[in-house]
Structure formats: structure tokens, C-alpha cells
A = this chain, B = another copy of it.
Amino acid sequence: MSEQEILARAFQEIVKTRRSIRLFDKVPVPEEVVRTALDLALLAPNSSNLQPWEFVWVRSTSKKEQLVQACFSQAAASTAAELIVCIARIDTWRRNCEDMKIQLKELANQGVRIPKAATHYYDKLVPMVYSQGPLGFWGVIKKLFVFFLGLKKPISREPSSISDMKIWATKSTALACENLMLSLRASGYDSCPLEGIDSKRIRKLLGLPGQVLIPMVIAIGKRRSDGVTLPRIRADKSWFVREV
């Protein structure tokens, strides 16, 4: 088998054996396995490299207990060895944009060729595209402007509201979450992405501002033999994949 075939088969095996696990065995997950999964999560592609994600690994016994309760004490949470709260933030892009500008400058100083478009992008375009102004007012202006300009030529339409920003941040965070879950599987461990959660209680528990989103809590552990409750079911592929 060629190197490439090994990679391709490995990936198929990882994806095909990943299931959402509802009951975990009472065995610990090596710290290294979780750390690797988190590291690989941060390598996901993300919008304009503004990294709107955050992952809180809840390890203290008392916080974990409260988190389990905020996940309705469902077995996937209560039997999990580890729990990670996955957060999408619409309030960190300015900070991360500034960091990009600094890092691009440092790279340039080291002799790396940085395209002018990249510098311009973070200096000028990012603030324009992602600012929505107080109460989203600037977003409304942008939407109007874009509507008229868009009559004549293609134009980028989102994000033009706080709501768009939430979609935007959730998207990149989900890409990272998938890396995280697949990494656990690749290491022989399992996960369950929990969306049935009390986001308000979790925000309070972690001291998060009201506007952050919690796309999911990822429960982590080793699957119990009865940890998969249903066979894998998908609707007919023709409903989801079209060629035109």
C-alpha cells in the first residue's frame, strides 16, 4: 500500500468508526490524547484566520458536576471521563486581527515574503467587514450599500448583522470541533457532541459574557460496548448530494 493509500484508508476508518457515544466506560483518557485533540482543533481552517473559537476543558470536580447538570445529567455527560465546552465568540476578532498584524510584521522582518494584499486585508478590510457597529447599526448601512452595489456585480453579503456574526463564529468553531472529535477517535477514544445543554447555566458557570455561543459540549471517554444506541442512519444520499 502506498503512503497515500494508508492515509486515505486511515481517514475512512476514523470517520466510519466515530459514533456519538451515549455511555462511556469508566476508564480515564490520557491527558496527552485530549491535548493532541485540542491542538489539532486549533488547526482547522477558519474565517480570515480570526480564530473565533475557545475551548474550556472542565476538570475540577465541582465545576464538572455543575456542567453535567447543565447537560441535564444525560448519561453521555455523567459517564464521560472529560468534558470540553466549545465556545464561539463574536467578541475576539479585533484582538485576533491585531495579533495577525503583529505576526505578519514579524514574519516580514524574518524575511518571509508577505503579500501586500494580506497586510491590507487585516489593516483595512477586516475591520470594515466584521464591525457591525452599536446595535448592529453599521451592519444595516452595509447591507443597504451591498444591496445596491450587488445589483451590478458580485459582492460579499455576510456578515452584515450580529446574527450573521453568530453564524460566522459558530461555523469556524464547528470545523475545529470536528477535528477534535476525529482526533479522539484516531487515538482510540470516543466522543459525543452534546447540544442539549443549558447554555445560560454554562455561561454562568464559566464566567462567560452573554453574547458568546456554545455550539456544543464535547463529552469524551472510551465507548462502552452498549454505548452506541442506534445503528448509523442517514437519509438517502440523493437528498443531500446533487451534481449540476
A interface residues with partner B (beta carbon < 8 Å): 4, 6-8, 10-16, 18, 20, 36, 38-40, 42-45, 47-49, 51, 53-60, 63, 69-72, 92, 95-96, 99-100, 103-104, 107, 112, 114-115, 118, 150, 154-158, 163, 166-168, 170-172, 174-175, 177-179, 181-183, 186-188, 193, 195-201, 206, 213, 215-216, 229-237, 239-244
Measured CA separation A16–B166 after assembly (Å)? 27
With A4-B187, A57-B241 known as contacts, the answer to whether A150 contacts B198 (CB < 8 A) is yes
Measured CA separation A115–B228 after assembly (Å)? 11
Measured CA separation A232–B42 after assembly (Å)? 11
Chain B nearest CB from A179 CB (Å) reads 6
Measured CA separation A22–B25 after assembly (Å)? 44
Measured CA separation A230–B49 after assembly (Å)? 11
B51 touches A100 (CB 8 A): no
Chain B nearest CB from A59 CB (Å) reads 5
Residue from the set A63, A150, A196, A240 with the largest chain B CB neighbour count within 10 Å? A240
**Which 8 pairs of residues, A with B, have the shortest CB-CB distance?**
A10-B10, A174-B174, A11-B186, A178-B178, A154-B198, A99-B235, A175-B178, A163-B163
A237 touches B47 (CB 8 A): no
Measured CA separation A171–B218 after assembly (Å)? 14
A55 touches B16 (CB 8 A): no
B154 touches A241 (CB 8 A): no
A229 touches B118 (CB 8 A): yes
A6 touches B6 (CB 8 A): yes
Measured CA separation A80–B220 after assembly (Å)? 37
User: Can you sample 28 A-B contacts with CB below 8 Å?
Assistant: A4-B188, A7-B10, A7-B14, A8-B186, A10-B11, A12-B186, A15-B183, A42-B237, A45-B181, A47-B195, A51-B239, A57-B242, A71-B154, A95-B235, A96-B235, A96-B239, A99-B235, A99-B236, A103-B235, A118-B229, A150-B198, A155-B198, A158-B195, A167-B213, A170-B171, A171-B216, A175-B177, A175-B193
